[in-house]
Copies of this chain bind each other. A is one copy, B any other.
């Protein structure tokens, strides 16, 4: 009996000392990221010296070359490119949008949705019909929709605490609305910008035309202009209100591009990989600062912090700058495909693609209640001093989702505070000036901490 008690006591002390050791390492990680952090200045370069980096563009290529050279300079164990073919959509000239109310024409801010075809050269003018959702579209059917411009105008639901959920429930208008409206004979689609904020910027973003689907021109309209159009539609009889828009965007042949990968090779399990990443491509309207310059620079910072502190991971840790998240996801697909082909084992992946705001925690995709409980019991307390302790079930990130082909891989989303993200998401306002240095660095430190805990203790 005494022996058992002693054994339990030793076990308990061991657990305590492991916890204390982890706690010290986390403190070191945070100190390094907050005192000597380089993610902010790296982000400044990416935003200000390179700028917008839509897949297939010259800037996207520049960003590939620069991030590779930066990781070479940091001297990570391996730095390499993964070639992939990506869609090459170009916006063309600045779009023109007008509400036509009898003889009055009101210019309104619009921008083509990514992957949209052009309007006819002279533009497109038609009666406009306002709809809340795709159900209403289906109910009205071809007899009402044919020949019209459909105006999807369902606002964000402000009651969600995390704005990503509001985006999730309003997003079908943009993702699926144009293709659905085309089926019923619409000639064009205007979508209310996906934000709760009332502003004058159209928020771009991709739309999806499934293979073989009819494609019609589609654009986002700013929320203020959407309200204006909606008010006019209610005041006037339908036929007197028309919408006009003109855009000459086009889809060019696929272009060659790359994921950029940096690796610290594992000392014990070099073939077992923990991936940490964001996406390098961005929309063309701004600098892709929060979406997702912050994510790639945080991923790179994870490896830099490891190196600066002389930490040797047991597993291989990879910082991956994924290409083409915004309008295709080809980089994420390629990464998983090569991982499988190369016989790698993937134990975990973390993506930061919700902006570089203050950390709140992490979400774990397809996690069992039991596993989540254990993760919380083990790690939530360690992350609590850093206020990054909300560990929940939830999504990960679209670049790492293809890694779900690895059954043992735990896919994780880094969760930053979401309140300001959709104010600037996919707009000309997504610029470096809107990133806070400390918020960015705290995120990098939180990601490094979780990578460290997974590397030390495993996660499944």
A30: B residues at CB distance < 8 A = 159, 161
Q: How far is the CA of A456 from the CA of B255 in the complex (A)?
A: 63
A308 to chain B, nearest CB (A): 15
Contact B442 A161 (CB under 8 A): yes
Interface status of A222 (Cβ within 8 A of chain B): no
Interface status of A22 (Cβ within 8 A of chain B): no
A161: B residues at CB distance < 8 A = 30, 385-387, 442
Interface status of A360 (Cβ within 8 A of chain B): yes
Chain A 386-405, CB-CB to B under 8 Å as 1, else 0, gives 11001000000000000000
Interface status of A419 (Cβ within 8 A of chain B): yes
Chain A 411-425, CB-CB to B under 8 Å as 1, else 0, gives 000000101100100
Contact B360 A387 (CB under 8 A): yes
A235: B residues at CB distance < 8 A = none
Q: With CB as the reference atom, state the residue of chain B lying closest to A389.
A: B390
Interface status of A34 (Cβ within 8 A of chain B): yes
Interface status of A133 (Cβ within 8 A of chain B): no
Contact B423 A436 (CB under 8 A): yes
Contact B417 A417 (CB under 8 A): yes
Interface status of A439 (Cβ within 8 A of chain B): yes
A155 to chain B, nearest CB (A): 11
Interface status of A196 (Cβ within 8 A of chain B): yes
Interface status of A3 (Cβ within 8 A of chain B): no
Q: How far is the CA of A423 from the CA of B435 in the complex (A)?
A: 12
A266 to chain B, nearest CB (A): 29
A436: B residues at CB distance < 8 A = 419-420, 423
Choice from B35, B360, B419, B423 contacting A442 with Cβ under 8 Å: B419
Q: With CB as the reference atom, state the residue of chain B lying closest to A162.
A: B387
Choice from B162, B386, B419, B439 contacting A419 with Cβ under 8 Å: B439
CB contacts under 8 Å to B, within A405-445, are 417, 419-420, 423, 436-439, 442
Q: How far is the CA of A161 from the CA of B439 in the complex (A)?
A: 10
Choice from B159, B196, B385 contacting A31 with Cβ under 8 Å: B159
CB contacts under 8 Å to B, within A147-166, are 158-159, 161-163
Closest 6 CB pairs of A and B: A34-B158, A419-B438, A419-B439, A358-B417, A358-B419, A31-B159
| Other 18 A-B pairs with CB < 8 A, given A30-B161, A34-B158 | A31-B159, A34-B159, A158-B438, A161-B442, A162-B387, A163-B438, A196-B438, A197-B437, A358-B358, A358-B419, A387-B390, A417-B417, A419-B436, A419-B438, A419-B439, A419-B442, A420-B436, A423-B436
A residues within 8 Å of B by Cβ? 30-31, 34-35, 158-159, 161-163, 196-197, 358, 360, 385-387, 390, 417, 419-420, 423, 436-439, 442
